[in-house]
């Protein structure tokens, strides 16, 4: 029997406080900062289950809850639940809350790499400036892969920095974007930013054989989905001096990685072992799937999450429903 109207998993402290501010008194909500698999919940505790990106939803819960809401713009995992869940279970997501925040994280990451920010901070201890000469963004070639809401913000930021910006997308919906073929544009790109939704077709998109044609010294930034950029290939590209730096906010097998790092458990997956190795490279920056996390976006996320919950309780439907895979195929 469901105890709550909605239960929010993976809700960190700031997010919980923001959601509570928007929740009306007549909606009973529960919260945990853990994933479902880290909790001891054997059954679905609410009619609406809300997660982020690291939870694995038990198959049995698909028959126990009425709706599942991912508090993220990505919805690839929820799409995979559609066949299991059937038409009686509703799946929602949040498409609008964090485009600018994620795009600015991409900017933060590429600027930190080009200006060697981690090394600068380390060498402050001795005030030595040897080996710290960086690069400017002006006039550099930026290739944005996936020009949806987030990718379009990356395009705008790149133009604001006087970069030469190209976009790659199977759906060319922005009239102000200079669209190109990825493989043709890659050899000229100084910087590649991935901002595309994950699909079966683009899983492993940035594999070694494709990326080895990159311009020597290029940077690669992924703020989209980790499954698009296999760590083993990225390590090889760095070791062979094809890429000069990488920065990731997303990872393959992220639920396993996040749980292992939080609990100090052994990482058994080979690709995740490579992630741990890469984390020690001076030209690598990893962040904990945190690109969305600004005060402004957390506020929008909380408000829109509650809007989704209220709409479902009142109407039996979400405002923003996870699209069918066919709708995302272009």
291-307: per-residue pLDDT in tens?
999 999 999 999 999 99
Give me the mean pLDDT over the 1-19 stretch: 93
Task: Please check the confidence at residue 328 and state whether its pLDDT lies above 60.
Answer: no
CATH of the domain spanning 99-286: 3.40.50.720
- pLDDT value, residue 297: 95
* Count of CB atoms situated within 10 Å of the CB of 5: 18
**Residue 326, pLDDT above cutoff 60:** no
Other C-beta atoms closer than 10 Å to the C-beta of 14 total: 13
Instruction: Give the closest residue to 52 by CA, choosing from 302, 229, 275.
Output: 302
Q: How far apart are alpha carbons 32 and 41 in whole angstroms? A: 11
pLDDT band for position 241 (50/70/90)? very high
Say how far apart CA 79 and CA 324 lie, in whole Å.
7
The reply to whether domains 4-97+295-328 and 99-286 share a CATH topology is yes
pLDDT of residue 1: 59
323 pLDDT band, cuts 50/70/90, is confident
Domains of the chain, by residue range, sit at: 4-97+295-328, 99-286
Q: How far apart are the first and last CA of the chain?
A: 41
Q: What are the pLDDT digits (tens) for 196-223? A: 999 889 999 999 999 999 999 999 999 9
pLDDT digits (tens, 9 = 90+) for 127-174: 999 999 999 999 999 999 999 999 999 999 999 999 999 999 999 999
For the chain, the average pLDDT equals: 94
pLDDT above 50 (res 246): yes
Counting every residue written for the chain, the total comes to: 330
User: How much is the pLDDT for 2?
Assistant: 74
Flag whether pLDDT at 51 surpasses 70.
yes
Summarised one tens digit per residue, pLDDT across range 85-128 is: 877 899 999 998 999 999 999 999 999 999 999 999 999 999 99
What residues are paired with 285 via a beta bridge? 247
Look up residue 197 and give its DSSP letter.
P
CATH code assigned to 4-97+295-328: 3.40.50.720
């Amino acid at each position: 029997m469901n105890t709550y109207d909605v239960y929010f998993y993976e809700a960190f402290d700031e997010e919980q406080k923001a959601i509570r501010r928007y929740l009306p008194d007549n909606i009973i909500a529960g919260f945990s900062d853990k994933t479902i698999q880290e909790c001891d919940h054997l059954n679905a505790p609410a009619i609406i289950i809300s997660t982020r990106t690291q939870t694995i939803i038990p198959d049995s819960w698909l028959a126990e809850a009425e709706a599942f809401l991912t508090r993220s713009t990505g919805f690839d995992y929820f799409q995979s639940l559609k066949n299991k869940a059937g038409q009686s279970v509703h799946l929602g997501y949040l498409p609008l809350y964090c485009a600018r925040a994620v795009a600015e994280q991409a900017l933060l990451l590429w600027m930190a790499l080009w200006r060697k920010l981690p090394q600068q901070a380390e060498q402050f201890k001795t005030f030595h400036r040897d080996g710290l000469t960086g690069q400017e963004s002006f006039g550099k070639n930026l290739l944005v892969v996936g020009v949806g809401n987030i990718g379009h913000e990356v395009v705008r930021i790149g133009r604001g920095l006087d970069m030469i910006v190209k976009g790659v997308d199977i759906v060319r919906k922005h009239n102000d974007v200079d669209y190109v073929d990825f493989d043709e544009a890659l050899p000229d790109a100084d910087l590649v930013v991935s901002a595309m939704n994950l699909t079966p077709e683009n899983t492993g998109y940035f594999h070694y054989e494709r990326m080895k044609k990159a311009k020597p010294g290029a940077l690669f930034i992924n703020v989209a989905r980790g499954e698009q950029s296999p760590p083993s290939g990225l390590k090889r590209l760095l070791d062979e001096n094809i890429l000069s730096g990488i920065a990731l906010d997303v990872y393959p097998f992220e639920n396993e990685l996040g749980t292992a790092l939080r609990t100090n458990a052994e990482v058994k997956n080979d690709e995740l072992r490579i992630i741990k190795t890469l984390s020690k490279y001076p030209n690598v920056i990893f962040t904990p799937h945190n690109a969305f996390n600004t005060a402004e976006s957390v506020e929008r996320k909380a408000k829109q999450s509650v809007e989704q919950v209220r709409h479902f309780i009142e109407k039996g439907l979400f405002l923003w429903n996870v699209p069918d895979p066919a709708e995302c195929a272009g």
